[in-house]
Amino acid sequence: MEFVTAEQMREVDRYTIEQIGIPAVVLMENAGRAIAEEVVHWILRQKKTLSGEHWLVLVGKGNNGGDGLVCARHLADRGVLVTLLYVTAPDRLNGEAGVQQRIIEALDLPRIVYSDEAEGTPDWRSYTGIVDALLGTGTQGAPRGVYASLIAEANASGLPIVAADIPSGLDADTGAVHDPCIEAKVTVCLAFMKAGLTQYPGAKAAGEVIVRYIGIPPRLPAGLEGAGVMLTEESLQSELGPDLGRRREPDGHKGTYGHVLLAAGSLPMSGAGLLAAKAALRAGCGLATWALPASLLPHMLGAVPELMLAPVADGGTGGWGTAAAADELLRLLAARDVLAVGPGLGRFPGEAALLRALWEGAARPLVVDADALNILAAADGLAAWKRRDAATILTPHPGEMARLAGLTTAEVQRDRIGLARRFATEHGVTLVLKGARSVIAALDGRVYVNVTGHPGMATGGSGDVLTGIIAAMLAQGLNAVQAAAFGTYLHGLAGEQAAAVRSGNPASLLAGDMIEAL
């Protein structure tokens, strides 16, 4: 499912109205009716009858308010009591909203024009729910004036809120929430999913998001790019290529499915290597070799019998600081298909030289994670590193992304989609920006948002598992963006399934459980 920014949505609206010729007021009619239908659905899911319901519809000055008026009319026609609360004198509404205002006059619904006078303030206790039609995709900056007070009061009322298009106060492009922002139970998103609803905290403010058709064709007009695609089973197949769900060939052998080389682990974090390697095997690569500091080898023997171990001389330290390590890894890689580097690597003298040797010398797909990302960030950042010819996937969590991009974590989180896209295109890498709703950005600027996953996955080792899965996807012949997207999707799905097994308490989820669920 494609998602768009506010500006892209305006272009689609314009195209639909001007080129296709569907009048704007028709789209507004469809929008408002869709919202009313979802309000009715929501009520009936809670209590099986509409009787006793009295909804307050918050009407803003623009077209979002116009949607609210249509919604109010359809709710009233269904027998729901409705009161309209306007932020401005109703006769000041214009355009399509003005048309809707003249229509709704005939219904003579109770109405309040918001002000600080007693008659302009709603008694929130009189209502059973709220429709938020204050601000939509025309929002500029944080809600001001009466909008801000109304949003704060609506949230404080504790009433269920159904938002029209987006929760008022949400940045439709980034998912950042202004202060205040409506906290909705349901958001009825019109025509196209909005980018800001795909990312937290916006995704939380929106509650359940329902995208409704309003007469705008569901395919973007030719020549108009969307902001990205939500990863679903269907979009994985249609957007990323039909070979994703490939089955094993009847005459395939272990060589058919590729050989992952993993450079990972150090004395205090040997488990990271083990998890990544095991995940790679479970994700279907034919063979996996774990290159590890030689001192660890005796302790790892037999831990995963299917795994090959390649000890790298470590001078007895259990770490990676020796000069010969890079040559040894490149030699091992010559007979393997993919290199993944980073989980549990630690930080060590000569770290930048090691990573640079791999970055420049590995003529195979490379997955860079965890400490390897921090090494990259510390070594002047990516701008100083030459572009690799082979596929390169970076899998930072927000903290690692912040270090890579020279930002704070809060700045990273403020616009995850925009940042991921810029970073991937500027540096010629495929990026997986992790965290709830991981963002996958390709070199050409395409963006995918993953929706699988579970809060229980916020646990040590989860990222190591993802690295192993993505490396295994590359080994099986997927290209970088396919491997990153499909790997992230599978990782989330494995987390969901592992959590379901532990339904009593998802907090008890371990990274190893996700591997077993693969």
Residues that bind K ion (CB under 5 A): 132, 163-164, 168
Q: Would you state the structure tokens that stand for residue 238, as one six-digit string?
A: 């249609």
Name the residue nearer to K ion (CB basis): 173 or 351: 173
Work out whether 192 is an interface residue with ligand NAX (CB under 6 A).
no
Q: What mask of x and - would describe binding to ligand NAX in positions 140 to 179, judged by CB under 6 A?
A: xxxxx--x----------------xx--------------
Nearest one of 262, 272, 256, 395 to 333, comparing CA atoms: 262
Name the residue nearer to ligand NAX (CB basis): 30 or 462: 30
Q: How far is the CB of 165 from K ion (least distance, A)?
A: 5
Q: Does 435 show up as a binding residue in the annotation?
A: yes
Residue 132, contacted partner among ligand NAX, K ion, none, CB below 5-8 A by kind? K ion
Query: Between residue 124 and residue 143, which ones bind ligand NAX under the rule CB under 6 A?
Result: 135-143
Neighbours of 295 (CB within 10 A): 18
The CA-atom distances, in angstroms, between 178 and each of 64, 141, 154, 169 are 18, 8, 15, 5
Question: What's at 206, amino acid-wise?
Answer: A
Of 1, 5, 8, 27, which lies in the binding site for ligand NAX, with binding defined by CB under 6 A?
A: 27
Name the residue nearer to ligand NAX (CB basis): 66 or 319: 66
Question: What's at 80, amino acid-wise?
Answer: V
Name the residue nearer to ligand NAX (CB basis): 100 or 482: 100
Q: Report cis status (omega within 30 of 0) of the bond before 242.
A: no
- In a 3-state reduction of DSSP, which class is residue 228? strand
Q: What's the 3-state SS for 178-227? A: CCCCCCCCEEEEECCEEHHHHCCCHHHHHCEEEEECCCCCCCCCCCCCCC
Name the residue nearer to K ion (CB basis): 65 or 343: 65
Q: Which residue carries 């077993």 as its tokens?
A: 516
Residue 31, contacted partner among ligand NAX, K ion, none, CB below 5-8 A by kind? ligand NAX
Of 20-28, 322-330, 458-466, 492-500, the window that binds ligand NAX (rule: CB under 6 A) is 20-28
Q: Does 272 show up as a binding residue in the annotation?
A: yes
- DSSP annotation of 17 reads I
> In this structure, are strands 2-4 and 228-231 parallel, antiparallel, or unpaired?
antiparallel
Q: Does 194 show up as a binding residue in the annotation?
A: no
Work out whether 63 is an interface residue with ligand NAX (CB under 6 A).
yes
Q: How far is the CB of 132 from K ion (least distance, A)?
A: 5
Q: What residues have CB less than 8 Å from 468, skipping those under 6 apart? A: 260, 262, 275, 276, 277, 278, 279, 280, 281, 282, 283, 288, 340, 515
Residue 236, contacted partner among ligand NAX, K ion, none, CB below 5-8 A by kind? none
Residue 106's Cβ-count burial label (10 Å; 0-12, 13-18, 19+) is exposed
Nearest one of 37, 32, 154 to 87, comparing CA atoms: 154
Question: What's at 43, amino acid-wise?
Answer: I
CB 344 within 8 A of CB 376: no
Q: How far is the CB of 97 from ligand NAX (least distance, A)?
A: 7
Of 66, 180, 318, 453, which lies in the binding site for ligand NAX, with binding defined by CB under 6 A?
A: 66
CA dihedral 331→277→322→391, nearest 10 degrees, is 60
Name the residue nearer to ligand NAX (CB basis): 212 or 502: 212
Bridge partners (DSSP) listed for residue 190: 212
Q: Does 436 show up as a binding residue in the annotation?
A: yes
Q: Report cis status (omega within 30 of 0) of the bond before 455.
A: no
Residue 138, contacted partner among K ion, ligand NAX, none, CB below 5-8 A by kind? ligand NAX
Of 1, 8, 62, 296, which lies in the binding site for ligand NAX, with binding defined by CB under 6 A?
A: 62
Residue 218's Cβ-count burial label (10 Å; 0-12, 13-18, 19+) is exposed
Work out whether 13 is an interface residue with ligand NAX (CB under 6 A).
yes
Q: Does 147 show up as a binding residue in the annotation?
A: yes
Residue 168, contacted partner among K ion, ligand NAX, none, CB below 5-8 A by kind? K ion
Q: Would you state the structure tokens that stand for residue 506, as one six-digit string?
A: 């998802």
Of 24-32, 328-336, 353-361, 413-421, the window that binds ligand NAX (rule: CB under 6 A) is 24-32
Q: Does 121 show up as a binding residue in the annotation?
A: no
Work out whether 31 is an interface residue with ligand NAX (CB under 6 A).
yes
**113, HSE (Cβ side, Cα atoms, 13 Å):** 7
Q: Does 140 show up as a binding residue in the annotation?
A: yes
Q: How far is the CB of 93 from ligand NAX (least distance, A)?
A: 9
Q: Does 468 show up as a binding residue in the annotation?
A: no
Name the residue nearer to ligand NAX (CB basis): 62 or 293: 62
Work out whether 90 is an interface residue with ligand NAX (CB under 6 A).
no
Tell me the binding residues. 63-67, 132, 136-142, 147, 165, 168, 272, 344, 397, 434-438, 463-464
Tell me the binding residues for (6S)-NADPHX. 63-67, 136-142, 147, 165, 272, 344, 397, 464
Tell me the binding residues for K(+). 64, 132, 168
Instruction: Please report, as ranges, the residues that interact with ligand NAX according to CB under 6 A.
Output: 13, 17, 24, 27-28, 31, 60-67, 135-144, 147, 164-165, 190, 214
